[in-house]
Structure 1
Amino acid sequence: MFEFSVLSGSDVMAIMAGREKDVIACVRDAYLTHEAGDSVNPDSYFLRFPEKPDSRIIALPAHLGGTTDVAGIKWIASFPRNVESGLPRASAVLVLNDYTTGYPFALLEAAGISAARTAASAALAATTLSHGVPASIGVLGGGVIARTICRYLHHAGIPLTDVRCHDIDEPSARTLADHLSTEYEAASRTASADEALDCDLVVLATTALRPHISADRVLRPGQLILNVSLRDLAPELLLTADNVLDDVDHCMKADTSPHLAEQLTGNRDFVTGTLAQVLTGQVRTNPRRATVFSPFGLGVLDLAVGHYVHGQAAAEGLLRTIPDFFGETSRW
């Protein structure tokens, strides 16, 4: 009842290694539970800093029902300038709360969980929305998210036969390409932005604050764009494609490309539907158009993956319990 435990990042990563398909299944179930209305996923809260406009710390509270039935909050910092010092851009913790009593029962280091749920979402979208097996993959961004997405694409059965890596920091692109070649025997190389954007499957995993892929670009029929970083595409491009989102209301904020498209048109008619609606057959995409998947990132996904990791850690005896964490355990 009053047990509180902590799980380190190294243990989290060890638990998830080799269980990528299980994590994808967790994310799939969470999307379907959320679509069914058995969740609470309020707006994320952004703590911003006037002197650091590119940095933020975000609170994502949520409750996920279904078989998970857990509440909690992810507190994740994104400081892009960390990479100049060789540090990861993001750091995070995840608190899990018992739904019956509200008491927190676990604290997990969550940078890996956050990256995994993002990558699992991308891999799920790739297998669900692709019209045929993509022969080429273009990756814009050479950081942790890009690396993790490629790992999950591999485990989801997407062949890494032609991977073109691009980053404005060329050494980052080269490191990603070398990693994919070594880890998965992928045919990967560095490439220009145009070469990467011309692929059948395009992964956008940058830290862009505003669109840099211009409205003049033509998206090919059948092309799938995983718009993970949300702000790379000019809003006009979305109007030429089918648009699948994780949650419509959540995506229409914070100057994401869908939000800019809504402002441009004054409506949401360009939205095709949600990934869950595609999974359940309520919505179909048109193979004669490109498809853009824009996931704002839902707190329920962090809960789903975090709850799964916590359960595995408990079964393997990896949880570090803190005795007497709660100061009072009775009213009187």
Structure 2
Amino acid sequence: MGTDSKAKRPGLQLIAAKAIRNILQGNAEEIEQLVTRTYQAHHQQQTVNPDSYFLRFPDSDRNRIIALPAAIATPELQVSGIKWIASYPANLSKGLERASAVIILNDAETGYPFAVMEGAQISAMRTAASAVLGADHCSNLGRRATSVAFVGGGLISRNILNQFCGRGWQIGKVCCHDLNPDSATALAKHAADSCGLAAHPGSLEQALDAEIVVFATSAMAPYLPEGFQFSPGQTVLNVSLRDLAPQQILTAQNVFDDVDHCLKAQTSPHLAEIQSGGRDFVSGALTQVIDGTVRLTDNKPVIYSPFGMGILDVALASFVYAKAMAQGETLQVPDFFGKVS
């Protein structure tokens, strides 16, 4: 990733959505392995992952733009970068995607940005890979589930479903729930048409009964009834982080991509920490489950809560950059950086 310090002033590579889509498709296993290595590097202190910065607006409590800076310094990869991602839920009613993003990669030696790319697909893909990695290791199912339910029928759920299929999961049936019935129907149709799965729209109650329950909504606060409890053996992928009441967190085994990052910003686990006054409900990090230092049981449900770390965006963006350069799928801006006099 480095640039020769004696070379001419570096240019900038632009990578657009179509090229990124082509690179991401068909690489589910390689991308999941990349996510695993990135998490392991993080827990070996080979990364820098500051808190995300949320730009909010006084006239809208739902719109936000989030900055996720990160750096990776492993023998295989030395790079820094940032994802700048906007979430505007009302975009859906305008025929636009809720989220739009760019990712910038910076050279580790000079600090110069060397790539700018469309980021929403990368963000969705790393989220999906992290979620399915959690399902692989936090469930005791051997990639065979009688039922998987999605609460939230948007882009993230679609990517997670694709990742399940790409990783060879055998799924009996899929239930799709969304406050917008059209979104639930569209996700069910995608599951049937693209993955060959038996899928149907369903109620929240039906979704909550599935063997694996995926939450991928834009909820800002918990809405599940406080008295509801998941069953022993159920696996919950708490991707959107704010759907569950503290009571559901406190009565489950809880696994995180990073505990400190997830227990803040009024996430459901953060609310559970506030209510309980401690972190006794924390089982550990996903890397600890993978390496066997944390063992899960079938006596309680397992809730995996991935905060969504900038290191994943930087790692996957670097993967995309290398593939795009090799395939000639970038647009070079050779004189982007001028000499400052």
Same fold (TM over 0.5): yes
In 1, distance between residues paired with 2:90 and 2:233? 36
Instruction: State whether residues 145 and 171 of structure 2, in contact with CA within 8 Å, keep that contact through their aligned partners in structure 1.
Output: no
What are the Cα deviations for residues 71-102 of structure 1, in whole angstroms up to 9, with x where unaligned? 00000001111111121100000000111111
1:107 to 108, 113, 116: 116
CA–CA distance in structure 2, aligned partners of residues 246 and 35 of structure 1: 10
Please list the CA deviations of residues 86-123 of structure 1 after superposition, one character each: whole Å capped at 9, or x if unmatched: 21100000000111111110001010000000000011
The alpha-carbon deviation at position 161 of structure 1 amounts to 2.2
Q: Could you tell me how far 1:325 is from its partner in structure 2?
A: 1.1
Aligned AA (1:181) = A
In structure 2, what is the equivalent of residue 85 of structure 1?
94
Work out the CA distance in 2 between the residues paired with 1:19 and 1:6: 21
Q: Does 1:300 align with 2:311?
A: yes
Higher mean alpha-carbon deviation, 223-232 vs 122-131, is at 122-131
For 2:195, the aligned partner's letter is Y
1:96 matched to which residue of 2? 105
Aligned length: 330
What residue in structure 2 maps to residue 3 of structure 1? Answer: 11
**Aligned-partner SS, 2:172:** coil
- 1:223 counterpart (217, 226, 234): 234
Contact 2:151-2:176 within 8 A present in 1 as well: yes
Match among 56, 63, 69 for residue 61 of structure 1: 69
Structure 1 gap segments, 5+ residues each? none
Which of 142, 148, 152 lines up with 1:137 in the alignment? Answer: 148
- In the TM superposition, residue 4 of structure 1 has moved relative to its aligned partner by 1.2
Tell me how far 1:286 sits from its aligned partner.
1.6
Distance apart, 1:160 and its partner CA: 3.1
Give the structure-1-normalised TM-score.
0.98
Gaps of 5+ in 2: 4-9
Distance in structure 2 (CA, Å) of the matches to 1:159 and 1:174: 21
Q: 1:153 aligns with which of 145, 148, 164?
A: 164
**Deviation string for 1:133-154 (max 9, x for gaps)?**
3210011001000000000011
Q: TM-score, normalised by structure 2?
A: 0.95
Poorly superposed stretches of 4+, deviation over 6 Å:
none
Structure 1 Cα separation of the partners of residues 300 and 168 of structure 2:
23
CA contact (8 A) 2:100 2:119 kept: yes
Q: CA RMSD in A?
A: 1.1
The sequence identity of aligned pairs, in percent, is 46
CA distance in 2, matches of 1:215, 1:156: 34
Rounded Cα–Cα distance in structure 1 between residues aligned with 2:150 and 2:101: 24
1:283 maps to which of 275, 278, 294: 294
- Whether 1:121 aligns to 2:130 is yes
Match of 2:263 among 231, 248, 252: 252
> Which of 8, 23, 26 is 1:15 aligned to?
23
Hey, what's the Cα distance between the residues in 2 that align with 1:214 and 1:246? 26
Mapped contact 1:127–1:158 kept (Cα < 8 A): no
1:81 & 1:272 partners in 2: Cα distance?
37
Q: Is the Cα contact below 8 Å between 1:71 and 1:96 reproduced in 2?
A: yes
Shift of 1:287: 1.5
- Superposition deviation, residue 252 in structure 1: 1.2
State the alpha-carbon separation in 1 of the partners of residues 277 and 167 from structure 2.
37
Cα displacement string for residues 263-321 of structure 1 (whole angstroms, at most 9, x for unaligned residues): 10111111100111111111111211100001111000001100000000011011111
Q: Distance in 1 between matches of 2:87 and 2:198?
A: 31
Structure-2 separation of matches of 1:57 and 1:78: 6
- Determine the structure 2 residue equivalent to 1:34: 42
8 Å CA contact 1:241, 1:289 repeated in 2? yes
Q: Measure, in 2, the Cα distance between the counterparts of 1:189 and 1:33.
A: 39
Is structure 2 residue 241 aligned with structure 1 residue 233? no
